[in-house]
Amino acid sequence: MAEVVLNGVGKVYPDGTRAVTDLNLTIADGEFLVLVGPSGCGKTTALRMVAGLEDISEGEVRIGDRVVNHVPSRDRDLAMVFQSYALYPHLSVRDNIGFGLSLRKMAKDEIHRRVEEAARVLGLTDHLDRKPRNLSGGQRQRVAMGRAIVREPQAFLMDEPLSNLDAKMRVQTRAEIARLQRDLGVTTIYVTHDQTEAMTLGDRVAVMKKGQLQQVAPPQELYDRPANLFVAGFIGSPAMNLVQGTFAGDADDPRVEIGGQSLALPDKVLSERPALGDYFGRNVVVGIRPEDMEDAALVDAPEGTTLTSTAELVEAMGSDVLVHFAVEAAQVVTEDTKELARDAGTDVLGALEAPRTVLVGRFSPRTRVRVGDPVTTRVDTGRLHFFDIDTGAAIW
C-alpha cells in the first residue's frame, strides 16, 4: 500500500483539448479519496494519468516513493475496476478472479489461497464454480473487485464502478465497497459524477470543475463549508438555494435583507466568519440549504427568522415535503447557467434576470401547506452561507 501524490498535474490531449489543470492532491496511505464533478470535468482523465493509461502533460504522479510518469501501467502495481467489468464468460468465477495471477505465473497454491480469501471477503465462496452469466449484476461487480483484490496492489483505482447496476444494487454494492476498503485498508481513488456516492464513500472528496480542483475535504466539511458557489450547488440534494441579498445592520445586529425581507443573524456569525465584517451594506450571495428551512407553523419562529411568501409547488416525498416559494430578490445566475440560457434563447436570459427567485424548503411531513397557500418559513439563520457576488468564493 502506498501514498499517491499528484503534483501540478495537467493534461492537454493531442487535439489541443485541455482536460486537467494544475491538479495537486495527496492521497494518504490507506485513504479513500473520491474525485467527483460533472461530466467532462476531467476526473477520468486524472485517474487515467495515475493508472498510466494516459500520458501526463505537466507535473508528476508519485506512487509510494516512485515517480511513475514514465513507468508503464502494468508496472505501477495498481488494480483498476471500471464500469464495464469485462469478465471472461467462458471462465468460472474462480478463474476470473485468479486470471491476472495465472498470467504472472504465480504458484498455484498461492493463487488458490488468494482467490479463496478474496471470495470469502466478497461473499462469493458459494459461487466460485459458476460462470459469470449465472450471476447477478452486483455479484459480477464483486468478481471484478475480487480480481483487483487478489493482486494485493499498492492502490485501487475505480471509475464509476456502480454505474451499470440498478438503483437498489448500487446502494448495496456501495456499502460493500466501503466495508471492503475499510477492511483491506488499501489506498483508493474512486471517480464518480454522483455526489451521494462521493459523500458516502470518501474519507475525503475532491470536487472538480472544468479540469480544476475546487475543494478537497471530508464530506461533512464540504457540506458545512463549501469553498465556493460551485461546490455549494453541487453538494446536497435538493441543491442549496442561492439568492442575492444585502448584508446589513451592524456588528451588534447583523442582518441580511432578501427581497425586502430581513433576517436577523446570530452574533456568532461575525466571529465565525470575520471576513463578513467587510461586507456591511454590500450585496452578497446568500445560500440556504432546504433542510435549514421549516414550516414556521410547526416550530418556534422568533421575529427576524422567517420569510413569507406563497407556496407555488408542494412535493410530498414521504419523509419530508418540499415546498417551493418565491422571494422578490435577484437570482444567482452562474456562468454555466448563463451559457445554457444563451443557447435556449433571450427569453430565458430575461427571465433569469427578473428579480424573483424560487426557494425550496424541506419541511416536516406534518406541514399542512398546500399549493397557493401563504407560507411562512422559519430559516435557521445560524446556518446561512455567504459568498462574494463577484468571485463566488465563500466569505469566511
Nearer Cβ to ligand ATP (40/304): 40
Q: Per CB under 6 A, does 161 bind ligand ATP?
A: no
Nearer Cβ to ligand ATP (49/375): 49
210 backbone φψ class: left, alpha, beta (φ>0; ψ -120 to 50): left
| Minimum distance of ligand ATP from residue 13's CB (angstroms) | 3
Measuring CA to CA, which residue among 379, 374, 396 is closest to residue 387?
396
Q: Per CB under 6 A, does 186 bind ligand ATP?
A: no
Nearer Cβ to ligand ATP (30/40): 40
| Minimum distance of ligand ATP from residue 304's CB (angstroms) | 43
Q: Per CB under 6 A, does 209 bind ligand ATP?
A: no
Nearer Cβ to ligand ATP (94/193): 193
Measuring CA to CA, which residue among 50, 73, 69, 36 is closest to residue 2?
50
Nearer Cβ to ligand ATP (45/246): 45
Neighbours of 21 (CB within 10 A): 18
Q: What are phi and psi of 385, to 5 degrees?
A: -115, 145
Q: Per CB under 6 A, does 212 bind ligand ATP?
A: no
Query: Does an H or E element contain 21, and which?
Result: strand 18-27
Q: Per CB under 6 A, does 37 bind ligand ATP?
A: yes
Q: Per CB under 6 A, does 84 bind ligand ATP?
A: no
Nearer Cβ to ligand ATP (13/396): 13
Look at residue 34 and give its three-state secondary structure: strand
Cα separation, 87 vs 49, in Å, equals 24
Say what angle helices 108-122 and 137-150 make with each other, to 10 degrees.
Answer: 140
Cα separation, 228 vs 293, in Å, equals 21
| Minimum distance of ligand ATP from residue 57's CB (angstroms) | 12
Which single residue brings its beta carbon nearest to ligand ATP? 44
Nearer Cβ to ligand ATP (19/177): 19
And the C-alpha cell for 304? 427576524
Q: What are phi and psi of 49, to 5 degrees?
A: -70, -40
Q: Mask: binding to ligand ATP, 39-68, rule CB under 6 A, as x and -?
A: xxxxxxx-----------------------
Give the strands of the sheet with 385-388, arranged side by side. Answer: 261-264, 253-258, 241-250, 283-288, 385-388
| Minimum distance of ligand ATP from residue 193's CB (angstroms) | 5
Binding span for ligand ATP by CB under 6 A among 37-45, 83-91, 313-321, 374-382: 37-45
Owner of C-alpha cell 501540478: 8
Cα separation, 217 vs 225, in Å, equals 9
| Minimum distance of ligand ATP from residue 199's CB (angstroms) | 17
Interface with ligand ATP by CB under 6 A: which residues?
A: 13, 15, 17, 19, 37, 39-45, 193
